[in-house]
Amino acid sequence: MSSCEAVQNFNVFAATWNVGGQCPSGNLDLSDFLQVRNEPDMYVLGFQEIVPLNAGNVLVLEDNEPAAKWLALINQSLNGPSDFSSNKGLKPTASLGGSLYFQKPSLKKIKKTFKKLNGKRLKSCNCILEMERKAAKDFCFRCQESNVNLDDSSTEEEDDSYPISVALATNQMKYSLVTCKQMVGIFVSVWMKKELIQYVGHLRICCTSRGIMGCLGNKGCISVSMSFYQTSFCFICSHLASGEKEGDELRRNLDVIEILKNTQFPKICKNQYSRMPDKILDHDRIIWFGDLNYRISLSRDVAKRLVEMKDWPALFNKDQLKMEREAGRVFKGWKEGKIYFASTYKYAFNSDTYYAEGVKVSKNKRRTPAWCDRILWHGRGIQQLSYVRKEFKFSDHRPVCATFLVEVEVVFRGQKKKVSTFNFQIHDLVPTRTSYYS
C-alpha cells in the first residue's frame, strides 16, 4: 500500500481549575468555561482538590463521587443533556447530563455506562509497521497482548483495563471520552471529537505522588501519554507543594524535577520498532497544567497595594515561576503565554474579593494574591492562541484556560495526500490583547 505524509493542524483546549474541595451541583453550567462554541478538536481538562485533602481521602479511600459529577457535567456541556436511563442496571435518576442527582454516583459507574454505550475499543497501538502487516479493513486494531503490570503507574484501573472503551453513544454526540483518572484530589479527563478517536493509540497513564513524606497523593501529578496519528502527546495535570514562605518555591521546583525524573509510562507495544516514549520530555507535544502553587515574592502589604491598583505587570515581575524559569532552575526549555489576567488565587468563596483586601479571616488563612494556576507547553509544532482566566466564583481559585494550534503528523494510506479542513475561526479563539506570544 502506498502512503503519503502530511502535517495537519488541530485545535486543543486545555484548562486547569482548583475547585477547593467543593462538590458541584447539577445546575453548574460549564459551557462558557469550556468555550464549547469554538468546538476544539480535543479537550484536556485538569482539576485539583475535587475532594477535601483530609486524612480520610489521602490515607484511607479517596471519594470518587465528585469526580463522577464533574465528568457528567463536562459531558453535558460538550454533548448536551443525554438521558441513558434506559440502559439496563441504571436507575432513572442516573443520567449523564440531564439530572446529576443519581444515588451515590461513582466514577466507575459512569465509565461503565460509557463502556456499555459502544462496543468499539480504543486502539492500543497504531504503529505504521503493524498497519502495513494487516489488511486495510482491520489494520492494527490492537497489538499482541502485552503483560502490563497494573500498578500506580499503569494505564487504567479495575474495569478500565487497557485498551479502554470510549463513548460513541449516538450520532448526536460530538465528543467522546478518551480517558479519565483520579488521584485523591487531582482529576484529569481527555475528550475528542468522536470521528478522531480512531486515530488515538498507545494510551497510558502514570500517577506520581509528591505529597506527605514525598509519597502520598495529596500532591503530585497525573500524566497521560498517547499517540494521535503519528505524533506523541503528553498531558500533565499537577498540584505542587503549597506555602508562601521564603524557600517554598524550591520545594515546588523539586516537585517538578522529581515528576520529570520518576514518571515512567509502561510499555504496551511489543513492536520492536515502536518509538513511543517512556518519559515525559521524550514526547513530541507536551502540555503541563495545574495548580503549580508558585506565589509572589512581595510582602502582603506591597502586593495588596498593587492589587488595588490592578498593576498586574508590576505584580508579575515578582512571580516566582517567572523568576525561577528565568534563572534556569525549573521548566528549562518550556514556554508560557503572556499573562494579561488578574491573579487567580486566593479569593473568598463566592466572592470577587481577595483575602488580601481586608476580608476578615484568621491570620494563618491570609494569602498574598498569586498566579497559582498555570499552563505551559514543550516541543515544536505548538502555537498558543489564547490564555485567559474564567470568572467562576465556585472556589477560592479562578480557572485558567488556553487554546493551542497543534501540528500533527498524519499518514494517509492507499491514497493521495488529502488534508481535511476543520471549521473553526482563529479570531473567535483569541481574546483582545492576547493575539501574539513571545
Q: What is the spatial distance between Cα 209 and Cα 152, in angstroms, rounded to a whole number? A: 9
pTM of the model: 0.81
- The residues facing 43 across adjacent strands are 13, 191
Confidence at residue 341, expressed as pLDDT on a 0 to 100 scale: 95
**Residue 74 within a domain:** yes
**Residue 126 within a domain:** no
What is the domain count for the chain? 1
**Residue 198 within a domain:** yes
**Residue 164 within a domain:** no
Please report, as a single letter, which amino acid is at residue 16. T
**Residue 429 within a domain:** no
Does residue 390 contact residue 398 with C-beta atoms inside 8 Å?
yes
Long-range contacts at 274-280 (CB < 8 A, ≥ 24 apart): 274/125, 274/127, 275/232, 276/202, 276/225, 276/227, 276/232, 277/225, 277/232, 277/234, 280/223, 280/234, 280/236
**Residue 247 within a domain:** yes
The CATH number assigned to the domain holding 358 equals 3.60.10.10
**Residue 58 within a domain:** yes
DSSP 110-172: HHHHHHHH---B--S---HHHHHHS-GGGTTSS-S------STTSS--GGGPSSPB-----TT
Instruction: State the residue range of the domain holding 321.
Output: 7-79+171-412
Confidence at residue 87, expressed as pLDDT on a 0 to 100 scale: 39
**Residue 373 within a domain:** yes
Q: Which helix (H) or strand (E) holds 75?
A: helix 65-79
- pLDDT tens digits in sequence order for the chain, 438 residues long: 456 779 999 999 999 999 999 999 888 999 999 999 999 999 999 999 999 888 888 887 778 899 999 999 999 999 987 554 333 333 434 344 444 444 556 777 776 555 444 545 565 676 654 444 443 333 333 333 333 333 334 444 444 433 333 334 445 788 999 999 999 999 999 999 999 998 999 999 999 999 887 778 889 999 999 999 999 999 999 999 999 999 999 999 999 999 999 999 998 886 777 778 999 999 999 999 999 999 999 998 899 899 889 999 999 999 999 999 999 999 999 999 999 999 999 998 888 888 765 555 556 667 889 999 999 999 999 999 999 999 999 999 999 999 999 999 998 765 444 444 444 343 343 444 443 333
